[in-house]
Amino acid sequence: MQNGSVIKRRDLLALIGTIAGSSAMYHAMTSLGFASESAYRGPLKLEGNPKGASVLILGAGLAGMTAALELRKAGYKVHILEFNSRPGGRNWTIRGGDSFVELGGFKQTCEFEQGLYINPGPWRIPYHHRALLDYCRRLNVTLEPFIQLNHNAYMHATRAFNGKPQRIRSIKADFRGQVSELLAKVTQQGKLDEAVSKEDQEILLQSLRTWGALDRDYKYSANLNASEFRGYARDPGGGLSADPLPSDPISLSDLLRSQLWRYLQAFSRYNFQTTMFQPVGGMDMIGKAFAREVGDLIRFNAKVTQIQQNGSGVTVSYVDTNNPAGVQQAAADWCICTIPLPILSQLPIDVGTPMKNAIDSLPYAASVKVGLQFRRRFWEEDEAIYGGVSFTDLPIRQIGYPNYDFNRNGRGILLGGYLYEGANSFEFTAMTPAERVKSAVEFGAMIHPQYKDEFETGVAVAWHRVPFTLGCAGEWTDAGRAQHYRNLCQIDGRILLAGEHASDLPAWQEGAILSSLDAITRLHERVVKT
């Protein structure tokens, strides 16, 4: 480095991520102690006698039901209070006939055809979320692939290429090819002599030719070699039409100005790398599987109104949402609370100032998902898109294609919009459900013109208006986590918190489960010692 300066680790990681992708950056983070694999090392073993201790769990999401399953197995007396009439919390699937009401009184009744569904909450499981995968195996939840990267899906920018969507394979191949050509030129001009040996430069040129699909002159051009990556103008065929025709690459300038390269990270980031999974039949198959084990412990339609504790136990006041006139109470020696913090921050709760400040400090991200039913699967029939995600700078941000029932006739469901954070999320949240669906159809038609003729019905979930969460997931900042995270997770008297917000994997089901396992391990240690 010039002037004797030393590159900072953060700058080094950013450089590695820019040049080699986030996968390489993640491995670099691991070697520097910044990242690690899941902490899960197999089924929990709670050794020692709980001596009849009782635990009241608030919330029958995955964190709450994990705690119930493991604590009952260890000999605790367990009871769960759940606001909804179903288990799972944000582990939620909407099917035809389902009804739900959001804040403001807007009621939606899903009219999807039988067998079709949308997951308004979590919709994919990374291969390294080992705890969730282990519970799926133990609870007999059948999984199938979730396709994050489909090279035949689209990238779309309203102000580039006259608004015409581009296939992911073309953008990916052209960006890689154009950058490879630039690097090859620099190498041939001797500009890397100080950084790369002569011998390694020769190897680098060979690798660039292969990796970037360059020709013998190290050019990225319209030829059959490049078309093997970006697609052909005419695909290989049979008989007299067998010869393929190469397609024309997009220029580097057009690629850069389009900004479509921003979406390429969506496939290489650690949490989205192949292989990903989804439960067969809908994400709520996981919640239902947990409920088969602990459903007898759950009191549904129980809205918590107050949480009190003293030196000997915890008392929780609640009302039946179907008959809220009378306040009821449940008591136990200990309480594990998994209520989302936007709800919990509004409840009277007997905890110390550090935990209360932590509860009050964490905002939840705004997120909206829109499910759209079409009379035919035109994305497969017309465009050969089977699963995966298309990306756009339109307010809907993403279009998700179903990863089930491939190549069948009849109706299908698209995730017509997935808005996460930002002004568009709040704008859609402020709309009525009908307005969200209408807007998703209008914007989606700019990518798939078939929307106009094929759309039938839709549902739209804005998480800030969902009564049992008031938000999608905890949105920590580095400063907020440094100030409040440990206080949020500490045992406060006889109360512990768990959930995705009490993890380093916010918005993921793995985070909810790992936080629960950590909480009950520390609780058990406390119980056995005392």
pLDDT per position as a tens digit, 20-78: 443 344 344 433 334 445 678 888 999 999 999 999 999 999 999 999 999 999 999 99
The DSSP result for 140-204, as a single string, is: T--EEEE-S--TTSEEE-TTSGGG--EEHHHHHHHHHHHHHHHHHHHHHTTTTTTTS-HHHHHHH
Considering the domain architecture, whether residues 203 and 148 belong to the same structural domain is answered as no
- Say which CATH number the domain at 195 has: 1.20.1440.240
φ/ψ (deg, to 5) at 45: -125, 100
Statement to judge: residues 372 and 456 lie in one domain: yes
Do 45 and 323 touch, CB atoms closer than 8 A? no
Residue where one domain finishes, among candidates 412, 435, 465 = 465
Pairing of the two strands 166-167 and 314-320: unpaired
Contacts 24+ apart (CB under 8 A), 504-508: 506/473, 506/474, 506/475, 506/476, 507/122, 507/365, 507/472, 507/473, 507/474, 508/122, 508/126, 508/129, 508/271
Q: Are residues 358 and 485 in the same domain?
A: yes
**pLDDT one-digit tens code per residue, 159-213:** 999 999 999 999 999 999 999 999 999 988 888 877 888 888 899 999 999 999 9
* Short-list 405, 444, 431, CA closest to 112: 405
- Are 301 and 440 members of one domain? no
Residue 11 lies in a domain: yes
Q: What is the CATH number of the domain that holds 506?
A: 3.50.50.60
Token pair 């029958």 is found at 60
**Whether residue 239 sits in one domain with residue 181:** yes
393 occurs within a structural domain? yes
pLDDT at 37: 53
514 and 369, same structural domain? no
Supply the CATH number for residue 417's domain: 3.90.660.10
| Same structural domain, 354 and 479 | yes
Same domain, 300 and 448: no
Say which DSSP state 301 is in: S
Gyration radius from the chain CA atoms: 26
Helix (H) or strand (E) holding 134: helix 130-138
End-to-end CA distance of the chain: 58
Same domain flag for 380 and 456: yes
- 370 close to 436: Cβ distance less than 8 angstroms: yes
Question: Which of 250, 245, 254 has the alpha carbon at shortest distance from 227?
Answer: 245
Residue 42 lies in a domain: no
One domain, residues 443 and 400: yes
Does 161 map to a domain? no
Are 126 and 218 in a shared domain? no
Count of the separate structural domains present in the chain: 4
SS3 of residue 94 by DSSP: strand
- Per-residue pLDDT at 41: 82
CA dihedral 377, 382, 388, 390 (to 10 degrees): -110
Is the dihedral angle over the CA atoms 168, 173, 176, 177 positive or is it negative?
Answer: negative
- Do strands 143-146 and 276-279 pair parallel, antiparallel, or not at all (unpaired)? antiparallel
Q: Is there a domain that residue 443 lies in? A: yes
Cα–Cα distance between 386 and 509 in angstroms, integer? Answer: 25
Residue 204 included in any domain = yes
pLDDT of residue 4: 41
Q: Of 523, 525, 521, 515, which Cα lies nearest the Cα of 131?
A: 515
Q: Residue 39: helix, strand or coil by DSSP?
A: coil
Clarify whether residues 374 and 402 are in a common domain.
yes
Encoded tokens for 174? 């052209």
- Tell me if 185 is assigned to some domain: yes
263 is a domain residue? no
Q: What is the distance between the alpha carbons of residues 420 and 368, in angstroms, rounded to a whole number?
A: 7
Q: In the listed set 420, 438, 465, which residue is the last one of a domain according to the structure?
A: 465
Residues of the chain with pLDDT under 50: 1-7, 9-10, 12-36
- Residue whose token pair is 């491939």: 406
Question: Residue 194 sits in which domain range?
Answer: 168-252
